[in-house]
Amino acid sequence: MLDRIREIERQVMEELEGSLSPEELQDIKVKVMGKKGSLSALYKEMRGLREEAKREMGQLINETRQRFEQMLEGKEKELMALLLARRLREETLDVSLPGLPVRRGYQHPLTLVMDEIEEIFLVMGFSVAEGPEIETDYYNFQALNLPKDHPSRDMQDSFFVSEDIVLRSQTSPVQIRTMEKMCPALPVKIIAPGKTFRYDDDATHSPMFHQVEGLLVDEGVRMSDLKGVLLMFVRQMFGRKREIRLRPSFFPFTEPSAEVDVSCMICSGTGCRLCKGTGWIEILGSGMVHPRVLEMGGYDPAKVTGFAFGVGVERVAMLKYGIEDMRWLFDNDVRFLRQF
Ligand code: DAH
């Protein structure tokens, strides 16, 4: 029996030596000290022994058992330390590596231009007014001196929702809404930025686009006031050296009406591809508010006068940043957007 114990001990030593994981240690433990383990089997064999020998053997087996347990425990600690050391070695973090760059967001060029236009006019004392994008025929046309069936409605291809409801084709209806709200207060001095819609889609037109409307109504407002305000705006937007030119034109809601050109920012007037050799680039429509429009807003055209204008925001952005196709503004291609 003593030999058997020695044999088991030798085997355990050997297996412990070769074991590499906590799982293997557990296997050895079960094989030797489990219910059916080799050491446990010895207890059964003691039955036939004399009382004296039984006690001796029992003690011996118990001692052996205790020794095994200590050995297993020691080996387990050793293994855990090894595993920890390996993990520490393999999972090191190089804190000196450069970080992953987080890309910044960019403001859309239209937002930039809108904000800049607003800023320029706020400094000149205008406030910002708003109106709905889905408008009635009355505000979008009739109150702006465009009765039903008037031929100049064809100047704009409008999206009608129904007979009397339209996606506003211009920001001009905000003129009427604001005058209605403010009358009889003076001055009415607002800009109205916002989305507008027309049935149009090519390199220089988009079915949805933006305008900024301007309106100043007061006693004694003259066309020279319009010219001064617009010159100020153009120089802030496109540079101190710019000049403007007012060309006679027609809009139903202004009389007289003028289209405003700015001296070409590329060639400064000598003629190039951008200005098609003319030295001038058209940037907005404007005029003195038509007496009938003042009336529609509740004001007395015998007492007050006013000027108005409408700027296309996409057009300003294209000129300012040299964008050749309006559709790029709406494609949302980050390679384009991140340039601003
Ligand atoms: N609403 C015009 C358009 O969309 C632009 C415009 C022209 C607005 C003259 C005005 C104006 O306020 O006075 O074409």
Q: Where are the beta strands (DSSP E) in 219-320?
A: 244-251, 254-263, 280-289, 305-312
**Measured distance CA(15)–CA(167) in Å, rounded:** 86
pLDDT at 44: 80
- CA-170 nearest atom, ligand 1: 4
Name the residue of 167, 172, 294 whose CB sits within 8 Å of the most ligand 1 atoms, as the mutation to test its pocket: 172
251 CB less than 6 Å from ligand 1? yes
Tell me, in angstroms, the distance from the centre of ligand 1 to residue 252's CA.
Answer: 9
Q: How far is the CA of 137 from the centre of ligand 1 (A)?
A: 16
Strands of 134-136's sheet, edge to edge? 134-136, 165-167, 160-162
Contact 12, 28 (CB under 8 A): yes
Instruction: Reply yes or no: is the peptide bond before residue 184 cis, omega within 30 of 0.
Output: yes
Q: What is the spatial distance between Cα 318 and Cα 328, in angstroms, rounded to a whole number?
A: 10
- CA–centroid distance, residue 287 to ligand 1 (Å): 8
For residue 287 the two structure tokens come to 């005029």
The pLDDT, as a whole number, for residue 63 is 86
User: Is 172 within 8 Å of 287 (Cβ atoms)?
Assistant: no
Q: Is the CB of 209 under 6 A from ligand 1?
A: no
Nearest residue (CA) to ligand 1, atom 12: 309
Q: What integer pLDDT is reported at residue 274 of this predicted model?
A: 86
The number of the ligand 1 atom at minimal distance from the alpha carbon of 285 is 7
Cβ–ligand 1 contact at 194 (below 6 Å): no
190 neighbors 309 (Cβ within 8 angstroms): no
Pocket of ligand 1, candidates 286, 292, 294, 296: which has the most ligand atoms within 8 Å of its Cβ, to mutate? 286
> What's residue 138's pLDDT?
98
User: Along the chain (340 residues), what's the average pLDDT of each consecutive run of 10 residues?
Assistant: 83 83 85 84 81 85 86 88 89 88 91 98 98 98 94 87 96 98 98 97 94 98 98 97 97 98 90 90 97 98 98 96 94 93
Cβ-proximal residues to 58 (8 Å cutoff; 6+ apart), any chain: 43, 46
Does the predicted TM-score (pTM) go above 0.85? Answer: no
pLDDT per residue over 254-299, tens digit each? 999 999 999 998 888 888 888 999 999 999 999 999 999 999 999 9
Q: What is the pLDDT of residue 22?
A: 82
| 282 secondary structure, DSSP code | E
CA atoms within 13 A of residue 310's CA, in its CB half-sphere: 19
Asked if residue 197 has its Cβ within 6 Å of ligand 1, the reply is no
How does pLDDT run across 77-128, given as a tens digit for each residue? 888 898 899 888 888 888 899 989 988 888 999 999 999 999 999 999 999 9
Nearest CA to ligand 1 atom 7: 285
C-alpha of residue 138 to centroid of ligand 1, in Å: 16
- Is 213 near ligand 1, meaning CB less than 6 Å away? yes
What pLDDT shows up at residue 50? Answer: 86
Calculate how far, in angstroms, residue 117's C-alpha sits from the geometric centre of ligand 1.
16
